[in-house]
């Protein structure tokens, strides 16, 4: 089984010893660099480059520069997706955003994690768990969403939160760790 196949199954894998994964990461990073250097007012070119990078997009979306990801092909965004500056998506596993998702500046969505044991971690091993963001979700500034998290429809995540567990739909959630504080 290749390291890429292990990653797709959520198993521990080594992304640094797989030529295919390394090549795909380099390609995605070059596309991100291209995207980040497009004139801000050239919205059509920006949209064209994101469509080339992502697995799936809606027709109406805007991702402010700078943007960074690992592979791109594991990312799906719905209609009316908006992300402010400095979005980072570490997409070793699938990252799916629904429709009408708004993301404030400096947010990260990290599907990759590493073993707790130092001996294993120091070998460069990691795992990847998918992230899913529902429809009509607002993510505040400086939010981090960790591997395997699902955020339900119509929810709001407060600025500075670290989301390490699922958030139900119709919820306001805040904090580190992020927790539900109010039903909508």
> Residue 116's Cα: distance from chain center in Å?
22
CA contacts within 13 A on the Cβ side of 72: 20
Residue 49 CB neighbours (<10 A) = 19
Residues 6+ apart with CB under 8 A from 133: 95, 96, 97, 98, 101, 109, 139, 145, 150, 151
Domain at 3-183: CATH architecture: 3 Solenoid (2.160)
- Say if residues 69 and 52 touch (Cβ distance below 8 Å): no
- Quote the CA–CA distance of 23 and 18 in Å, as a whole number: 9
Residue-wise pLDDT tens digits, 153-172: 999 999 999 999 999 999 99
114 in active site: yes
> CA nearest 162: which of 149, 175, 148, 181?
175
Per domain, the residue ranges of the chain are: 3-183
The single residue of 85, 94, 96, 114 carrying the catalytic annotation is 114
Per-residue pLDDT of the chain (184 residues; tens, 9 = 90+): 899 999 999 999 999 888 999 999 999 999 999 999 999 999 999 999 999 999 999 999 999 999 999 999 999 999 999 999 999 999 999 999 999 999 999 999 999 999 999 999 999 999 999 999 999 999 999 999 999 999 999 999 999 999 999 999 999 999 999 999 999 9
Residue-wise pLDDT tens digits, 89-121: 999 999 999 999 999 999 999 999 999 999 999
Which H or E run contains 49?
Answer: helix 43-53
Query: Rounded to two decimals, what is the model's pTM?
Result: 0.96
> CA nearest 89: which of 28, 2, 157?
28
Q: How far apart are the first and last CA of the chain?
A: 45
What Rg do the C-alpha atoms of the chain give, in angstroms? 16
């Amino acid at each position: 089984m290749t390291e890429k196949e292990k990653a797709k199954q959520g198993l521990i894998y080594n992304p640094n010893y797989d030529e295919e994964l390394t090549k795909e990461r380099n390609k995605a990073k070059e596309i991100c660099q291209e995207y980040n250097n497009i004139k801000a007012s050239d919205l059509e070119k920006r949209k064209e480059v994101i469509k080339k990078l992502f697995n799936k997009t809606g027709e109406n979306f805007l991702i402010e520069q700078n943007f960074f990801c690992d592979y791109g092909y594991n990312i799906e965004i719905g209609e009316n997706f908006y992300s402010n500056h400095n979005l980072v998506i570490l997409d070793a596993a699938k990252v799916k955003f629904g429709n009408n998702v708004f993301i404030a500046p400096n947010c990260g969505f990290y599907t990759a994690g590493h073993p707790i044991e130092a001996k294993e971690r120091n070998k460069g091993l990691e795992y990847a768990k998918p992230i899913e963001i529902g429809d009509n979700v607002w993510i505040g500034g400086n939010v981090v969403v960790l591997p395997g998290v699902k955020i339900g429809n119509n929810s709001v995540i407060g600025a500075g939160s670290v989301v390490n567990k699922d958030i139900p739909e119709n919820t306001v959630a805040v904090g580190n760790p992020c927790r539900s504080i109010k039903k909508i």
